Structure 1
């Protein structure tokens, strides 16, 4: 017995292929949407994590900046305290400077020189006096330059010839001088004396 199919099988097969293609396209579209959603979610998670890390780092940076400011303030306070400490130490060590000044004046003034005025402003001492001759003034300047660690940088401001009356009949020619020099602080003088001692020991 022969069976003959009179139904439109080609159209049915075509319809089935079209439905299969549409189903595949729909599945592909859904899969693409799911993949895109997963990728978007992953990127959003990375962005959120990075933002959290950035916020944490900003907070830590602010903490460090506050600590740096505190350290800078502490350094300024330490510097100010050290400056005050040095000032107090200088004052304590400089209490004996007038004694050293008078002692050195006695040692360094040659015979034939006497002082009429002695003034001190900070570390600068101004001295006026009389000398028997210009040579005595030169000798005094050499003594003040080379023979003492307590006095430094002597500078002759003025020297003029003058007359001194010892009695109505006895008048003498003298040199009236005006000079200034620097009074060395105790710490500097002690360093200079230590260096001189080492140099003498080395010889």
Structure 2
């Protein structure tokens, strides 16, 4: 006897496949959503950690800027204190400057020259006087330029004038000049520099008899 299946097996099979497809799609959606959520959590955790690190770095930078400002303020105070200390030392040393200056002028002034006025303004000295000739003024300037205590002489005025009346009248050179005066610490620094330069030259000089 031949059996004939009258059930719509094709439609049942198609329905079963469709049900499996929808199940797989739902499972894939669930897995995808899980992956997205997991990745989001990971990114959120990393972002939160990075935000905390950035906040820490910002705070540390603010603290560092504050310390830098404190150091700069402290350095300014130290510089101001050094400046005041140097001013006091210069004031004490400058008390002896007139004595050294007068001794230098007596030693350096050539014959045929005399000074009528000496005025110190800071570290410059203004001098006025008369000389027998322009050559005498030139000698005086050269002596001042080679002095240990004085430097950078500058002639302001140098002209021939008549001095006296009648038979006693003489033609002389009237001059105005100013010259710088060194402080003791400047002399000490110059001496130390010269000594260091001399030591360097001795160190690089070839030995006698060396080939």
Normalised by the length of structure 2, the TM-score is 0.75
Q: Does 1:154 align with 2:120?
A: no
Unaligned segments of structure 1, at least 5 residues: none
Deviation at 1:92, TM superposition (A): 2.3
SS at match of 2:111: coil
Could you tell me how far 1:28 is from its partner in structure 2?
2.2
| Residue of structure 1 aligned with 2:168, choices 167, 171, 179 | 171
Contact 1:130–1:174 (8 Å) recurs in 2 = no
RMSD of aligned Cα (Å): 3.0
- Report the number of matched residues: 194
**Structure 2 unmatched ranges of 5 or more:** 203-211
Q: Which moved more, 1:5-14 or 1:71-80?
A: 5-14
Deviates more, 1:96-105 or 1:112-121: 112-121
Q: Secondary structure at the match of 2:49?
A: helix
Question: Offset at 1:97?
Answer: 0.6
**Compared CA separation, residues 39 and 48, structure 1 to 2 (3 A):** same
Question: Which structure is richer in relative contact order (CA contacts within 8 A, separation 6 or more)?
Answer: 1
Deviation at 1:5, TM superposition (A): 7.2
Q: Quote the Cα distance in structure 1 between the aligned partners of 2:168 and 2:14.
A: 151
In the other structure, the counterpart of 2:53 is 53
The CA deviation at 1:120 is 1.1
Q: After superposing the two structures, state which structure 1 stretch, 114-123 or 181-190, moved more.
A: 181-190
For normalisation by structure 1, the TM-score amounts to 0.78
